[in-house]
Homo-oligomer: A and B are copies of this chain.
């Protein structure tokens, strides 16, 4: 499982305040915590209106002072991405290209030029997909266009859109089914989700997020933008990988056990 740490995101109040105050120590603390907790990549979102290039580049510098993990540049602004890319010590991921004309045209050149791994979010100019077929069709169109531009399947992380089940009751199972079809159609591709959206509007959100990740792993999901500091989520991932034969000899599971990471925890209620 490729866990992309979600916490350094300017839509989160505490992060936004830290960015505005140039509080590098706080950002670095969050970066370290995510790295220590097992994130494979750190998402970095500097989306403060009108200041995105400045904020994103500052975040990239600050985060790279404390971790060697690759970053996931979370922006729809090609100028901000290009500026941040120059600072990256290793090739970053892009979050995200879509099938919307403006976004596609803006981001494709930089992705193609640097052969960057990218999240391909299944949104088009007609909006977010509804049915299983919608999701598969938008995903296929994105994948076919990206591979035609020279990207390898291994560089593409299809995100077929998590919707809150409180608003779209069938959205949870539709996405699960779509992920099963997409991974079968394109062997070697990655699929990813922005996990926490699924539980919006319902109580005990962490329980829903953790359970949904396991449901999607059963259909082939191998990446997620999520909170690596959620110990219950991480326990579920260790268990699911062992159960799905993605963890040879259950080695990671047993290592996590020996390190006390599977031990009794108090379950957080929200």
Interface residues of A (CB under 8 A from B): 165-166, 169-170, 172-173, 176, 198, 202-204, 207-208, 210-212, 214-219, 232, 235-236, 239-240, 242-245, 248-250, 253-254, 257, 262-269
Which of the residues B170, B232, B243, B257 comes within 8 Å of A212, measured between beta carbons?
B243
The contact sample of 7 A-B pairs, CB cut-off 8 A, is A170-B245, A204-B257, A211-B239, A211-B243, A215-B244, A263-B267, A264-B268
Using Cβ atoms and an 8 Å threshold, which residues of chain B touch A217? Answer: 215
Question: Taking chain A's interface residues, is the majority helix, strand, or loop, or is none over half, making it mixed?
Answer: helix
| Structural contact, B169 and A245, CB atoms closer than 8 A | yes
Q: Which residues of B contact A267 (CB under 8 A)?
A: 232, 263-267
**Copies assembled:** 2
Inter-chain contacts of A240 with B (CB < 8 A): 211, 215
What is the chain B residue whose CB lies nearest that of A216?
B218
Across the interface, do B172 and A243 meet the contact criterion of CB distance under 8 Å? yes
A162 to chain B, nearest CB (A): 10
Cross-chain contact B214 with A211 (CB below 8 angstroms) = yes
Cα A204 to Cα B254 in complex, Å, equals 10
Name which residue of chain B comes closest to A244, CB basis: B173
- B248 and A169 form a contact (CB under 8 A): yes
Query: Given the complex, which residues of B lie within 8 Å of A165, measured CB to CB?
Result: 242-243, 245, 250
Closest chain-B Cβ to A255's Cβ sits at a distance in Å of: 11
Docked-complex contact B262 and A198, CB < 8 angstroms: no
Among A176, A239, A263, A269, which residue has the most Cβ atoms of chain B within 10 A? A239
From the candidates B166, B203, B250, name the one contacting A257 in the complex (CB within 8 A): B203
Contacts known (A242-B202, A243-B215, A266-B266); A235 close to B250, Cβ less than 8 A: no
Tell whether, in the assembled complex, residue A215 and residue B212 are in contact, meaning their CB atoms are under 8 Å apart.
no
Task: Add 14 more A-B contacts to A214-B214, A215-B244 (CB < 8 A).
Answer: A165-B242, A169-B248, A172-B244, A173-B245, A203-B262, A204-B239, A204-B262, A210-B239, A211-B236, A214-B218, A215-B243, A218-B218, A262-B269, A266-B266
